[in-house]
Chains A and B, each alone.
Chain A
Amino acid sequence: MSSEARTVRGGAHIRVAGLHKQYGERRVLDDVQLELGAGEFVVLVGRSGTGKSTLLRILCGLEEPDAGVVSIRDPEAPHVSPEVRMVFQEPRLLPWRTVLRNVRIGGAPEERARELLTRVGLADRAHDYPHVLSGGQRQRVALARALVHEPKLMLFDEPFGALDALTRMEAQQLVESLWLRHGFSALLVTHDVEEAVLLADRVWVIEGGRIAQRVTLDLPRPRSRSHARIVEAREILLAAILGGASESASPAEPVSDVPVQGLLSGSIS
Chain B
Amino acid sequence: MTAPPTQARALLRHVLPWVAPVLLVLAWELLSRAELLSASLLPAPSRVCAAALASSRSGALWMHLGVSALRAYAGLVIGASLGLVLGLLSGLSRRMQLVLDGPLQMLRAIPALAVVPLIIVWFGLGETAKLSIVSVTVLFPVYLNTFYGVRSVDPQLIEMARVYKLRGAAFYREIVLPAALPSILVGLRFALGLSWLVLIVAETIGAERGLGYVAMTAREFMQMDVLVLTIVLWALLGKLSDYMARRVERWLLPWQPPSQRLGVE
Contact = CB atoms under 8 A, between A and B. Distances in A.
Contacts of A223: none
Interface of B: 156-157, 159-160, 162-166, 170, 174-175, 178-179, 181, 253-257
Contacts of B157: 92, 94
Contacts of B256: 95, 131
B253 A96 contact: yes
A264 B157 CA distance: 44
Contact of B160 (A88, A96, A107, A131): A88
Interface string A92-132: 10111110000001110000000000000000000001111
B156 A92 contact: yes
B164 A61 contact: no
**A interface, over-half SS:** loop
Contacts of A145: 164
Contact of A106 (B156, B166, B253, B255): B166
B160 A92 contact: yes
Given A60-B163, A95-B255, 16 more contacts: A62-B159, A62-B163, A84-B163, A88-B156, A90-B156, A92-B156, A92-B159, A94-B157, A94-B174, A95-B256, A96-B178, A105-B164, A106-B164, A129-B255, A130-B255, A145-B164
27 contacts: A60-B163, A61-B163, A62-B159, A62-B162, A62-B163, A88-B159, A88-B160, A90-B156, A92-B156, A92-B157, A94-B157, A94-B174, A94-B175, A94-B178, A95-B255, A95-B256, A96-B181, A97-B255, A98-B255, A105-B164, A105-B166, A106-B165, A106-B170, A129-B254, A129-B255, A131-B257, A132-B257
Contacts of B159: 62, 88, 92
Contacts of B160: 88, 92
Contacts of A86: 163
A131 B175 CA distance: 17
Interface of A: 60-62, 84-86, 88, 90, 92, 94-98, 105-107, 129-132, 145
A226 to B, nearest CB: 35
A86 B256 CA distance: 26
A247 B41 CA distance: 90
A106 B255 CA distance: 20
Contacts of A105: 164, 166, 174
A132 B258 CA distance: 11
Contacts of B181: 96
A90 B155 CA distance: 12
B115 to A, nearest CB: 39
A130 B160 CA distance: 16
B163 A131 contact: no
Top 3 closest pairs, chain A to chain B, by CB? A96-B178, A131-B257, A92-B160
Contacts of A107: 170
